[in-house]
């Protein structure tokens, strides 16, 4: 029985991950209707598992479920946008405090590979690639911190941040620059934790300042195309 339960949980998590990635990479825009039958088809999934995945995403504030309206990708309000960035500054500050030069050294090859991926994405000028790689930097630091609770909290906040950026970021805003990420890494290598925290705090403030709370673009791929493009 436990084997069946474990398999079900793994399948539900697969669907959660697929939807979360599509949302984080802006393939699914805020407000898009999540039609269960389309998810079932696109992910070759069981409808009961899809329903469980949507309920889990609703608990994480990534999806909304409303009577007679069905499930939709969440559309965070301005207050929630500000609160998400406040939470990120607190969590990422704590995350950086947990990263020692020794932990960093253990992940040096992964860090180097990621920084190269950031540079390639920026050089390629593909907005979706840039969003993906620059967001992954924050999740990489979370993994290096080796604090599972912080990792889970940041994973949720990063997806919600993607919704906020999709809704509110000005079209003329510069992308998050990999030089800022390199500066944080260099400070951590030198053991300058307070300096690294200050850099990350300023970095996140700058990202928040790029938001225009009156700008709400809604161009989107279809649900089916967004999920299929991640496979």
Domain ranges (residues) in the chain: 2-74+217-228, 78-209
Residues 6+ apart with CB under 8 A from 208: 81, 82, 85
For residue 218, what pLDDT band results from cuts at 50, 70 and 90?
very low
Reported confidence tier of residue 164, pLDDT bands at 50, 70, 90: very high
CATH of domain 2-74+217-228: 1.10.10.10
Task: Please give the DSSP secondary-structure letter assigned to residue 169.
Answer: B
Distance of CA 16 to the CA centre of its chain: 13
- Give pLDDT tens digits for 178-195: 789 999 999 999 999 999
- Among 123, 72, 122, 104, which residue's Cα sits nearest to residue 187? 104
13-35 confidence digits (pLDDT tens): 999 999 999 998 888 999 999 99
Q: Which CATH number among 3.40.309.10, 1.10.760.10, 1.20.120.530, 3.40.50.720 corresponds to the domain 78-209?
A: 1.20.120.530
Would you state the structure tokens that stand for residue 35, as one six-digit string? 């039609």
């Amino acid at each position: 029985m436990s084997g069946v339960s474990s398999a079900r949980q793994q399948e539900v998590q697969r669907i959660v991950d697929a939807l979360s990635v599509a949302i984080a990479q802006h393939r699914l825009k805020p407000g898009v209707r999540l039609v269960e039958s389309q998810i079932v088809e696109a992910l070759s999934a069981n409808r009961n598992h899809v329903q469980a995945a949507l309920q889990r995403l609703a608990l994480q504030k990534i999806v909304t479920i409303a009577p007679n309206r069905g499930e939709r990708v969440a559309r965070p309000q301005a207050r929630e946008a500000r609160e998400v960035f406040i939470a990120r500054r607190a969590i990422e500050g704590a995350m950086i405090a947990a990263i020692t030069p020794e932990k960093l050294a253990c992940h040096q090859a992964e860090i180097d590979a990621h920084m190269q991926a950031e540079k390639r994405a920026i050089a390629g000028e593909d907005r979706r690639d840039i969003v993906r790689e620059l967001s992954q930097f924050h999740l990489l630091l979370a993994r290096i911190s080796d604090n599972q609770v912080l990792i889970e909290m940041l994973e949720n906040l990063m997806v919600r941040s993607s919704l906020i950026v999709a809704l509110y970021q000005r079209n003329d805003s510069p992308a998050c620059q990999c030089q800022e990420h390199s500066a944080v890494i260099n400070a951590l290598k030198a053991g300058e934790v307070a300096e690294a925290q200050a850099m990350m705090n300023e970095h996140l403030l700058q990202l928040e300042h790029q938001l225009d709370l009156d700008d709400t673009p809604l161009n989107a791929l279809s649900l089916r195309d967004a999920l299929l493009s991640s496979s």
